Structure 1
Amino acid sequence: MHITVLSSLDTHCRDSAAARLGRTHGNSAVVLHDLLDGSLVLRRVYRGGQLFERETTVLEHGCLSCTVRLDVVPTAERLASCGFDQVVLGLPPGVAAAMAAAELKQALDGRMVIDNAVLAVDPAELEDHMWDRHTLYESGFTAMPEDDRTSGEFLIGELGHVDSVMLFPGLSAGLSGETRIDSAHWRAGTELVGQLAPHAAVIGSADKFTPGCYDHVEAIARTRPGVVRRPPDDATGTFSTVLHALSKPLHPGRFREALPQLAAGTHWMRGRLWIASAANIRITVQGIGPRVWLESTGPWSVEAAAQAKPHTGVDMVLDGHAHHGDRGTVLALTGRSEDVNAQEIRQLLDGCQLTEAEMEAQPAAWDDPFELSKAL
């Protein structure tokens, strides 16, 4: 049996995408899961566009992972035994495709394979989602008060993991009767999808959908903290991505001063940092809309990057250096073209590197303890 995992923030987008995905095979079941208040899971199963099963289940602990493990996965296993050729699993809003895929792969046997991981999104709302400061719970996307992710954080995670992005008008468009397709906001959002997920197939209502694109190993590789994918070559549109690599350590004080300037107006900033005051630690940076954070991912690799074998299309490490190994800074910043000036960004980052004199001097001459809380 073939499985398609479908995620979204918007139930209207998800349901529209699920209906279309259900038509890619002749003998398909479409399952829509929703996590409601009180740890209640609503499950609806469709065959040929007709509802044939509607059940509710009360979970002892109604978190997103329990919903996947105790309802989504058992439903897939049960439908596999019923002889369906394909099952489309429409996840509850806010549930990550990566979580579902990991749980499914643990439970899969020879009868089931994950064909696709798909994100359904209204591109006209994408930019607003990226800058929304509210949590998923505050925005009403999940019933979990503990879910403090923003919509931008969820979408960046999904755009990195999925192999396909389906474009449909969202719930707000349906309620207002607004025609969004081919509007200026729709076109801009579609372009932004291409910058944020250059690996993914972007599928509009008239575009062909190709089953069988999901590669779990590749999806995990490209979403590792600190990994930077090479941006699309076309930088002449509304949005663009600037990629810059540095081979010298960063002065902690100068970088802390530069970080707010780098983050301002940037929809998505990601990469890894070689900070002089923590030279042995690989620090990753991520900025999504209004949120920016840094974290340690442990020591740098002792092997030179020239000996590494990166996954296709993924810039895993810098060119190797006999003494530095894989140490180095790599940053990518995506935003509106008027806000991400490549020359200014590169000059700003170049100025954060230690000078030759600073590298020759004792650490006390430049050391400024790099406190992450101050950097933010």
Structure 2
Amino acid sequence: MENPRLVLVAGLPRDAGQVATRLLGPRTAVVHHDLRQAAAGTVRRRLRVGWETDTTTVVDLAHACVSCTLREDVLPTIERLARQVDTIVLHLDPMVEPEPVCRAVRAVMDVHAVITVVDEGSWLADASGDEPVPFAPDDDDRTLAQVAVGQAECADVLVLTGDADRWTSARTAAVLDRLAPDARRVRLDSVTASVLARVRPDAERGEPVDIHGPLLRGQPPLAPDCGVTVTLFRERRPFHPERLHEAIDVLLEGVVRARGRLWVATQPDVALWLESAGGGLRIGEAGAWLAALDDRGWDRAPAHRRAKAALDWHPRFGDRVQEVAVLAHDADPEHLLAVLGRALLTDEELDGDWSALADPFAIAGKDMT
């Protein structure tokens, strides 16, 4: 038997279960892990094989987090099913983002497609808010926006559902055009197993984000639409750490997604990675700038990163650069650029002692909000 197709179905709406059901066939298995009781150490696994087998099993795990559920139950389950069926549909819990799941399951098989269900009436509000994830364990500080945005931008197919007025529908479409420009879109009532044939040959299939790669997925439209904008902030001089810490709140108002690489004056050798969704923000280390590496370190860097650095090399700063892409639905691009621009070192500061500056980003590698 050839390797089965592995399909992930994600999304906040419970309608995602309907998509999984519509993909069910005689040689298809649908697996769903319900994590609503995960904080209590219990996960419910529902397994359907064809139209004849439908079982629910309570799985007791020592630490019922997403990662241990994947390791201890999801991976063994799909490995076992791979010998029995042609297609495995992994229906994710609504609060699970597909990218880390894709990264984990690739240890046993390739991902054929990621399908995400989007409620047109509520998705944009969820994706731009700051509500915490419901039913989350104490150590899960993600927001609903981080989940909603992560699910949508990872999709190869977007399934639209729900009721929305024309304006909300248009604005949601404009955001999705820029967040997941290559994803096919279908309505829920038209979903059948044939939707898998609509996945683009060059689909990303849950490939993880390259923190030193392009900040925008695919080739999204860059012109404004329904108040939705894409703004790129790019500067060569470093950020003043304290002013940047104050300015960063501008990325949490009227913004759906911000993503980029930062250079803070007090950390000249380290690139920082910024990623926000709605009111949730993460900043962590993204490794060393190539300018801080010796020849052996340069040779170990990916070819695309070396090529980009060589083409854009600065005689003083090397490949160090500020690059932040901001997808906003209710923010003024000029205001975004001005606020971030004021956080850069001034000419006088550029010639001074950067090491003397206080640095609230010294905890890089942890989430900051």
TM-score interval, normalised by the smaller of the two chains: 0.7 to 0.9
Residues 240/216 of structure 1: CA separation in 2 closer, same or farther (3 Å cut):
closer
Residues 214/16 of structure 1: CA separation in 2 closer, same or farther (3 Å cut):
farther
Say if 1:250 and 1:276, in contact at 8 Å, map to a contact too: yes
Say if 2:241 and 2:361, in contact at 8 Å, map to a contact too: no
| CA distance, structure 2, for counterparts of residue 316 and residue 44 of structure 1 | 49
State the one-letter code of the partner of 1:34: D
| CA distance, structure 2, for counterparts of residue 238 and residue 99 of structure 1 | 31
- Structure-2 residue corresponding to 1:172: none
Give the one of 216, 220, 225 matched to 2:208: 220
State the one-letter code of the partner of 1:114: V
State the one-letter code of the partner of 1:56: T
Deviation of 1:327 after TM superposition, in Å, equals 0.5
| CA distance, structure 2, for counterparts of residue 123 and residue 316 of structure 1 | 40
- Determine if the alignment matches structure 1 residue 363 to structure 2 residue 353: yes
Q: How does 1:1-376 map to 2 (within 5 A)?
A: 1-10=4-13, 12-22=14-24, 27-37=27-37, 38-47=40-49, 50=51, 52-61=53-62, 62-82=64-84, 84-108=85-109, 113-136=110-133, 139-140=134-135, 142=136, 144-169=137-162, 180=163, 183-205=166-188, 206=190, 209=196, 210-211=198-199, 219-222=207-210, 224=211, 228-229=215-216, 231-302=220-291, 308-309=303-304, 319-336=312-329, 339-359=330-350, 361-363=351-353, 368-372=357-361
State the one-letter code of the partner of 1:39: G
Deviation of 1:54 after TM superposition, in Å, equals 0.8
Scaled by the length of structure 1, what TM-score is found? 0.77
Say if 1:133 and 1:290, in contact at 8 Å, map to a contact too: yes
Say if 1:119 and 1:166, in contact at 8 Å, map to a contact too: yes
Which secondary structure state, in structure 1, belongs to the residue aligned with residue 79 of structure 2? Answer: helix
| CA distance, structure 1, for counterparts of residue 94 and residue 68 of structure 2 | 14
Q: How many residues get paired?
A: 344
**What are the ranges of 5 or more consecutive residues in structure 1 without an aligned counterpart?**
170-179
| CA distance, structure 2, for counterparts of residue 92 and residue 52 of structure 1 | 21
Say if 1:5 and 1:97, in contact at 8 Å, map to a contact too: yes
Deviation of 1:18 after TM superposition, in Å, equals 1.1
State the one-letter code of the partner of 2:115: V
Which secondary structure state, in structure 2, belongs to the residue aligned with residue 77 of structure 1? Answer: helix
**What are the ranges of 5 or more consecutive residues in structure 2 without an aligned counterpart?**
292-297
Percent of aligned pairs sharing the same letter? 24
| CA distance, structure 1, for counterparts of residue 321 and residue 230 of structure 2 | 20
Which secondary structure state, in structure 1, belongs to the residue aligned with residue 81 of structure 2? Answer: helix
Residues 41/51 of structure 1: CA separation in 2 closer, same or farther (3 Å cut):
farther
| CA distance, structure 2, for counterparts of residue 227 and residue 256 of structure 1 | 24
- Structure-1 residue corresponding to 2:295: none
State the one-letter code of the partner of 1:346: L
Deviation of 1:90 after TM superposition, in Å, equals 0.7
| CA distance, structure 2, for counterparts of residue 225 and residue 125 of structure 1 | 32
Say if 1:135 and 1:149, in contact at 8 Å, map to a contact too: yes
Deviation of 1:240 after TM superposition, in Å, equals 1.5
State the one-letter code of the partner of 1:166: V
| CA distance, structure 2, for counterparts of residue 256 and residue 44 of structure 1 | 45
Which secondary structure state, in structure 2, belongs to the residue aligned with residue 296 of structure 1? Answer: strand
Deviation of 1:59 after TM superposition, in Å, equals 1.9
Alpha-carbon displacement from aligned partner over 1:252-273 (angstroms, at most 9, x marks no partner)? 3443443333443222222111
Which secondary structure state, in structure 1, belongs to the residue aligned with residue 181 of structure 2? Answer: coil
